[in-house]
């Protein structure tokens, strides 16, 4: 576990830095109202790229757990081929954000953001899937290298487009799309020869298996998009723009959780599937310790506009509303802390329980967003904290049925 955590965190960190660079550029270069439009487009981008990820790619990853690690990469040819159509259709659906665009966002900016986001969305799910499969096949260092390529290309593309005088609104998603293309190619080439597993994937079976995973995965993103839309219309696009700048700085704790999930998530799923309670709790303790050891110092350093904060000058819009960054960091840290319990429920086949929990938690989040006319930009992080609280309680209640038998000692402990 310790061996895999380091490249897992490096992978998540480098991938996060790629989107961080994109977000930093957008928050610095775009005026607050246009940045509010960018926030909605980014939310739509995240929402629609989740469709193929949950409907097809996640079921493949769950099925791959049953194969020996060296054979897992052999499923990639089938999964990428089956996922191409849904990925393209989902990417085109990103354009639907225009239906709820705030009137303050210029039409030319909306068009540029839409075109570039659609192109970036075509490649993003496949790139993420390849990296997760590499982690599952003892290729965590290769996955980290893929994210390194993504970061270098994103930063280089931003620099090159700025130097060429490209309009700023075209740059963020264009840079990310190019980075996804190059890093995806690197991820497919780097492992060399793949073994050919006997398992054959069926689109119908994957879709049936992934239907609840799709519902579970889409609900928080759909709620995030709905919350952003509500806040942009109740408090104004500029308020949403300030919350987007805070989101960029508040994201690292959640990215850390995603990185840990890529490495430790399969372990939690296996532990729940085979009723190994001690192993599941060992994973969750490691998860909590790493999250707190990284998240709390980050909160102290970046959460407040004090003299030692290295990013106040880099991203002043994030600190335009006092306390917004720290509230966002806390919300993301709380959400990430419960990731192992989510994986345990997936591994135990309790996807319907997860779906019900997600529905309840995200309805509550949207309800908090409706206070945007009163609390303004704070409606976004307040919704994150509400989401985390409802999930945390629900996960623990649902897991009582999973661990219905008394904890059994691990083989080495019994010996």
Tell me what pLDDT residue 327 has. Answer: 94
Q: Residue 139 domain-assigned?
A: yes
pLDDT in tens, 209-229: 777 778 777 888 899 999 999
Q: Residue 414 domain-assigned?
A: no
Q: Residue 388 domain-assigned?
A: yes
pLDDT in tens, 44-54: 999 999 889 88
Query: Is pLDDT above 70 for 188?
Result: yes
Q: Residue 413 domain-assigned?
A: no
Q: Residue 171 domain-assigned?
A: yes
Which one has a higher pLDDT value, 346 or 176? Answer: 176
| Structural domain that includes position 276 | 2-406
Tell me what pLDDT residue 2 has. Answer: 58
Q: CB within 8 A of 407, min separation 6: which ones?
A: 277, 278
Average pLDDT over residues 61-69: 76
Tell me what pLDDT residue 5 has. Answer: 67
Give the predicted TM-score (pTM) of the model.
0.77
Q: Residue 415 domain-assigned?
A: no
User: How many of the other CB atoms lie within 10 Å of CB of 129?
Assistant: 24
Q: Residue 412 domain-assigned?
A: no
pLDDT in tens, 7-29: 777 887 788 788 888 988 998 89
Query: Is pLDDT above 60 for 408?
Result: no
Tell me what pLDDT residue 414 has. Answer: 38
| Total tally of structural domains belonging to the chain | 1
Q: Residue 308 domain-assigned?
A: yes
């Amino acid at each position: 576990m310790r061996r895999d955590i380091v490249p897992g965190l490096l992978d998540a960190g480098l991938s996060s830095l790629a989107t961080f660079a994109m977000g930093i550029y957008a928050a610095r270069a775009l005026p607050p109202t246009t940045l509010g439009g960018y926030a909605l487009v980014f939310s739509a981008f995240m929402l629609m790229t989740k469709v193929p990820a949950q409907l097809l790619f996640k079921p493949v990853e769950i099925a791959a757990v049953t194969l020996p690690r060296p054979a897992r990469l052999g499923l990639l040819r089938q999964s990428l081929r089956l996922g191409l159509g849904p990925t393209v259709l989902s990417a085109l659906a990103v354009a639907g954000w225009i239906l709820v665009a705030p009137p303050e966002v210029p039409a030319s900016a909306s068009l540029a953001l839409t075109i570039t986001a659609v192109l970036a969305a075509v490649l993003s799910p496949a790139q993420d899937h390849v990296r997760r499969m590499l982690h599952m096949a003892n290729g965590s260092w290769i996955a980290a290298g893929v994210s390194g390529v993504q970061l270098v290309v994103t930063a280089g593309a931003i620099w090159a487009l700025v130097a060429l005088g490209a309009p700023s609104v075209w740059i963020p998603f264009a840079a990310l799309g190019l980075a996804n293309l190059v890093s995806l190619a690197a991820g497919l080439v780097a492992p060399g020869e793949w073994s050919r597993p006997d398992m054959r994937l069926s689109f119908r079976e994957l879709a049936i298996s992934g239907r609840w995973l799709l519902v579970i995965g889409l609900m928080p993103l759909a709620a995030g998009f709905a919350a952003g839309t509500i806040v942009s219309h109740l408090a104004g696009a500029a308020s949403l723009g300030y919350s987007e700048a805070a989101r960029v700085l508040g994201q690292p704790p959640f990215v850390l959780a995603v990185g840990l999930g890529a490495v430790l998530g399969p372990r939690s799923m296996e532990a729940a599937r085979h009723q190994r309670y001690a192993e599941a709790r060992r994973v969750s303790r490691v998860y909590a310790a790493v999250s707190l050891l990284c998240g709390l110092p980050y909160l102290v350093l970046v959460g407040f506009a004090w003299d030692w904060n290295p990013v106040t000058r880099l991203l002043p819009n994030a600190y335009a509303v006092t306390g917004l960054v720290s509230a966002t960091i806390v919300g993301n840290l709380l959400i990430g802390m419960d990731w192992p319990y989510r994986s345990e429920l997936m591994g135990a086949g309790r996807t319907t329980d997860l779906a019900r929990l997600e529905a309840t938690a995200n309805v509550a989040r949207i309800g908090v967003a409706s206070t945007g006319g009163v609390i303004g930009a704070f409606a976004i992080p307040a919704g994150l904290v509400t989401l985390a609280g409802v999930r945390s309680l629900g996960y623990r209640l649902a897991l009582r049925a999973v661990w219905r038998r008394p904890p059994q000692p691990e083989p080495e402990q019994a010996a």
